Amino acid sequence: MIEFNKKITLKLAKLSRLSLSNSQLENLEKDLTSILSFIDQLKEINTDSIDPTSNSLDQNLILRDDLAEDVLSNEKLLQNVPESELGFFVVPKVIE
């Protein structure tokens, strides 16, 4: 079982873009550890002869035909954005 420590919890928070206080981090660490140990009980079941399940619904994927439709207007799409210009979303500069 993965032992949650501060480093892993911090990394997860960072990947999730969450800014957490020290006490929140500590609580989360405890919660995640207990969640994992709960889930770990599943390991007791022998699943050798069972195909991995990716979805619990016993249905087929629903398909749609390839039809292009008019969707949102540019004005409507950008209606709630904090900043836009020339029809673009505008965000602080990010260059990877």
Partner 1 sequence: MNSEWQTVIGIEIHAQINSKSKLFSSSSTEFGSAPNTQVSLVDAAMPGMLPVINKFCIEQAVKSGIGLNAKINKKSIFDRKNYFYQDLPQGYQISQFKDPIVGSGSIEIEIDGTKKAIGIERLHLEQDAGKSLHDQDPNLTFVDLNRSGIALMEIVSDPDMASPEEAVAYVKKVRSILRYLDTCDGNMEQGSLRADINVSVRKKGESLGTRCELKNLNSFKHITSAINFEVARQIKIIENGEEIKQETRLYDVSSDTTKSMRSKEDAHDYRYFPDPDLLPLNLDEKWIEKIKNELPELPDEKKDRFITQYKISNYDAEVLTSDRQTSEYFEEVISNRNPKLVVSWVASELFAALNKENLSIENSPVNSKQLGELIDEIEKGTISNRAAKEVFEEMCVSKKSVQEIINDKGLIQISDTSEIEKFINQVLVDNPINVEKYKNGKTKLLGFFIGEVMKVTKGKANPGLLNQIVKKKLDN
Binding residues vs partner 1 (CB under 8 A): 11, 14-15, 17, 54-55, 57, 59-69, 71-74, 77-78, 85-96
Q: Are 3 and 33 in contact (CB under 8 A)?
A: yes
Q: Which is nearer to partner 1, 50 or 63 (CB)?
A: 63
Minimum separation from the CB atom of position 89 to partner 1 (A): 4
Minimum separation from the CB atom of position 19 to partner 1 (A): 14
Q: Which is nearer to partner 1, 36 or 77 (CB)?
A: 77
Q: Which is nearer to partner 1, 23 or 80 (CB)?
A: 80
- The whole-angstrom separation of Cα 8 and Cα 15 is 11
- The whole-angstrom separation of Cα 42 and Cα 13 is 26
Minimum separation from the CB atom of position 45 to partner 1 (A): 19
Among 45, 53, 55, 38, CA closest to 1: 38
Q: Please state, as a whole number, how many other Cβ atoms lie within 10 Å of the Cβ of residue 8.
A: 13
